[in-house]
Amino acid sequence: MQRICVIGGSRYFGKLLVEGAHAAGHQVTVINRGSTLPPAGVEHLVVDRDDEGALDAALGTRTFDVVVDQVCYTPVQAASAARVFTGRTRRYVMTSTIEVYDPATAALPAVPAGTPVPEENVDPRAWLVDMDLPWHDEAYLEAHYAEGKRQAEAVLARDGSFAFASVRSAHVLGGGAQEFTGRLAHYTERIRRGEEIAVHAKSLPTVFIHYQELAGLLLWAATAADFTGPVNACSDGMLDVRELTAVVAAQTGREPVYRTAAAGGTASPFSFDRHYAMSNTRAKRLGFTFSRIADWLPGAVAETVSASATPVA
């Protein structure tokens, strides 16, 4: 049994992580603002993680084997967490994102088109951190999500108070109505209604992961693995937007209607005119076994179709 603290953990794969850790016999503490209650038997601390004093007071004398931070978006939050959890945990796992590799958001090392990007393309120990940027401004943070994650990783990687690992998640799908991003629902609804889908003239492939698989990987990273540094989390295989919509079309019985987005214009989710698909080689070498996108995507689409109450004419 390990003592696990999950910051966030109130919805989607974070909720599954908490449930899985508890079911595996671990002693789990969840920290969030109280919008959703954790399962019975899981300790719940209701506190805003951005209020450092309140978080420190709420934790009291508690210590943990590992902290899994689901909701760290800025270097300011990361620095606060490092101060609060120094001496309280031996390991810290942060949920990060594929978007740290997005070449549209930073000057990154070039990779040949179609080559999955390895973790070393974004080295948190070498990444520049600027605490003086307006990280508390919601509009700024939304526009600089990828950079916030990169800098948060950098702060925690350099802190040295605990072993630090980051899990860089691919685009997460599955769960039907639970999928709060609504991206898969966007496609199922538009295809069912015969509405246009805006795609780039040359859409490049990217990588995905099922929400249950991501929850399992986070639990593995927290309790069964001892690696440090970043690890990419994505199912085997890559899909471009047309391949994704073909799976949706097969489930709905309707053909997609495409419209080519203007150069520099907005396209539908998962239509990319730039390459940043990740490599999952490091996670495999560390012992994690991934599923294939082709094996779970039809079921994820079926869940989403079933969750929709919109009638089709």
Question: CATH number of the domain that 287 lies in?
Answer: 3.40.50.720
Contact 305, 189 (CB under 8 A): no
Q: What is the pLDDT of residue 34?
A: 83
228 part of a folded domain: yes
Higher pLDDT, 220 or 175: 220
pLDDT at 310 over 80: no
Residue holding tokens 């974004």?
122
Q: Which residues pair with 210 in a beta bridge?
A: 173
Residue 123, both tokens: 């080295």
Q: How far, in Å, CA of 209 to CA of 238, rounded?
A: 10
Please give the DSSP secondary-structure letter assigned to residue 23.
H
311 part of a folded domain: no
189 part of a folded domain: no
CB-neighbour burial class of residue 279 (10 A; exposed 0-12, middle 13-18, buried 19+)? middle
Q: What is the pLDDT of residue 313?
A: 43
302 part of a folded domain: no
pLDDT at 68 over 90: yes
Domain that includes residue 52, residue range: 3-175+206-238+278-292
Residue holding tokens 């860089």?
168
pLDDT at 306 over 90: no
Q: Model confidence over 108-131: pLDDT tens digits?
A: 988 887 789 999 999 999 999 999
H-run or E-run covering 199: strand 196-199
Residue holding tokens 């003086």?
132
Domains identified in the chain, total number: 1
Q: Average pLDDT, whole number, for the chain?
A: 92
Mean pLDDT, residues 80-108 taken together: 96
245 part of a folded domain: no
Contact 97, 207 (CB under 8 A): no
84 part of a folded domain: yes
Helix, strand, coil shares, percent, the chain, to 5: 40, 20, 40
Phi, psi angle pair for 206, to nearest 5°: -140, -175
Q: How far, in Å, CA of 48 to CA of 7, rounded?
A: 10
Q: Which of 69-78, 174-183, 220-229 has the lowest mean pLDDT?
A: 174-183
Burial state string for 234-257 with b = 16 or more CB within 10 A and e = fewer than 16? bbebbbbbebbbebbbebbebebe
Residue type, position 173, single letter: L
Q: How far, in Å, CA of 265 to CA of 262, rounded?
A: 5
**Binning pLDDT at 50, 70 and 90, where does residue 312 land?**
very low
H-run or E-run covering 85: helix 75-85
Q: How far, in Å, CA of 195 to CA of 132, rounded?
A: 44
35 part of a folded domain: yes
